[in-house]
Amino acid sequence: MVALLDGSPLLIYLYHITPPSLSERAYAEIRRMIVRLELAPGTVIREESLRAALGLGRTPIREALQRLARDQFVSVIPRRGVYVSSIDIGDLALLYETRSILEPYAMRLACARGDARQWDEMATTLNSATTDSTPDQLLAIDRHCRELVWSAADNRFLTDQLDMLYAHSDRLWHLYVADVADLHDLIKEHYTILDALRAGDAQRAAELIETHMRRFDEQIQLAVHRRRQSPIAD
């Protein structure tokens, strides 16, 4: 399994033996651009620009946009075009509400189905964090730790949902990440989660991931509050 630690969100196709199709590649790349705010909320999606940027044909681009519309990353307005969906901070509460149910369940499955190889890889990933790691790099480490748990859970329906929900959360985090105090402590929490996974302690792992998500949600909410209270805020 491969993950990027340079800050780029990575869509890993955990259940594919063959390379991703062109439409899957288009989906991953366009979603990355949306999550990283390279395609800002409200931006008009121009197929010809995406074809040139990605080196892909019309069909995979259109198939990717259809999937992105289903996943609510883009909005299709009849007779007007396709737009990057707006960012509604109210979605953060809904995302937390949903993920707080699914992520602990994934932890329980991972405890039952995971193996030492996956947990060793998680340890290696966590150990790659340094005091000089950027917020984007730390978010990528967090993402890869989640992906390893999802892989261990071995439920593609659950993984697909968690992957999509995490990407939506990631998009909100990129908008406010400069206002988050410090991500290093949040990354350190994964070591305790890893200990529970190695021990096969499903209850402990589920409780820890829920606490981890709640703490990060609180930090983002605080960042949003500070942004709104800023004298230069719109």
CB 83 within 8 A of CB 74: yes
Identify the pLDDT of residue 84.
96
Name the pTM for this structure: 0.83
How high is the mean pLDDT in each 10-residue block of the chain (234 residues)?
A: 44 49 94 94 94 94 96 92 88 89 97 97 96 88 95 96 93 77 84 97 97 86 75 56
Residues 6 or more apart whose Cβ sits within 8 Å of residue 112:
200, 202
Q: Is 64 exposed, middle or buried (0-12, 13-18, 19+ CB in 10 A)?
A: buried
Q: Say how many residues make up the chain.
A: 234
Cα distance between residue 115 and residue 175, in whole Å: 35
Looking at residue 18, what is its pLDDT? Answer: 52
CA gap 9, 141 in Å, rounded: 10
Beta bridge partners of 76: 82
Neighbours of 15 (CB within 10 A): 11
Domains of the chain, earliest start first:
22-84 (1.10.10.10), 90-229 (1.20.120.530)
Cα–Cα distance between 201 and 149 in angstroms, integer? 14
